[in-house]
């Protein structure tokens, strides 16, 4: 009596030399640089995917409600923060800096206004008084004389 496995293997025993030849030819393929590189690439890709899956399975998925709650709170904080900003500040931030033409026009207007008021002569600044240090007793004498 034989098992099915025995019968099946016995039927194909004669093909073993051909299989040995295939095995040797594949061994040559093993030394192929391209094959090795591809194997390494797949190994790292698999490692990355495995880590990502573990990260998801162990850290995110079991506490998914907590993570969802945290995300909702963060979104709420962001929205509240955005809505409470000063609109003038926002506008000031948004408005571009004045151009040189605008600055020139502004100065001309300032000059025109000054002419209209009547003080078109430029003020002559009084020269600063020269200060010569003297002893305090001399100053008191001067006061008494006057």
Partner 1 sequence: MLAVATAEQLPVQQAREGNPEAWDTLFRRYQLPLYVYVFELAHNEQTSLDIVQETFIAAIRHIGGLRDDEKFGGWLFGIAHQKVIQLWRKHGGKEILFDEIPEPPDEFENSPDDLLIRREQEIEFMNLLNQLPSPQRSVLLLHFVENFSLEEIAHITETQIGTVKSRLHYAKRALRKLLEEKK
Footprint of partner 1 (CB under 8 A)? 1-9, 11-13, 15-16, 18-20, 22-23, 25-27, 29-31, 35-36, 38-46, 50
- The residue (of 16 and 110) whose beta carbon lies closer to partner 1 is 16
- The residue (of 37 and 73) whose beta carbon lies closer to partner 1 is 37
Least Å from the CB of residue 75 to partner 1: 37
- The residue (of 5 and 129) whose beta carbon lies closer to partner 1 is 5
Cβ atoms of 70 and 77 closer than 8 Å: no
74-99 burial string, b = 16+ CB within 10 Å, else e? eeeeeeeeeeeeeeeeeeeeeeeeee
- The residue (of 18 and 93) whose beta carbon lies closer to partner 1 is 18
Least Å from the CB of residue 31 to partner 1: 7
Least Å from the CB of residue 15 to partner 1: 6
1-23 burial string, b = 16+ CB within 10 Å, else e? eeeeeeeeeeeeeeeeeeeeeee
Q: Where are the alpha helices (DSSP H) in 12-128?
A: 16-30, 33-55, 64-83, 87-94, 100-117
Give the integer Cα–Cα distance in Å for 60 and 129: 80
Least Å from the CB of residue 63 to partner 1: 25
- The residue (of 16 and 126) whose beta carbon lies closer to partner 1 is 16
Least Å from the CB of residue 52 to partner 1: 13
């Amino acid at each position: 009596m034989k098992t099915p496995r025995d019968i099946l293997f016995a039927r194909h025993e004669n093909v073993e030399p051909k299989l040995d030849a295939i095995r040797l030819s594949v061994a040559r393929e093993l030394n192929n640089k391209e094959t090795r590189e591809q194997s390494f690439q797949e190994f790292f890709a698999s490692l990355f995917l495995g880590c990502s899956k573990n990260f998801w399975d162990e850290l995110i998925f079991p506490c998914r409600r907590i993570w969802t709650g945290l995300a909702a709170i963060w979104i709420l904080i962001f929205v509240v923060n955005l809505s409470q900003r000063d609109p003038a500040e926002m506008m000031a931030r948004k408005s571009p800096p004045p151009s040189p033409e605008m600055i020139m026009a502004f100065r001309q207007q300032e000059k025109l206004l000054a002419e209209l008021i009547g003080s078109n002569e430029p003020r002559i600044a009084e020269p600063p008084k020269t200060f010569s240090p003297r002893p305090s007793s001399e100053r008191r004498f001067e006061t008494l004389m006057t």
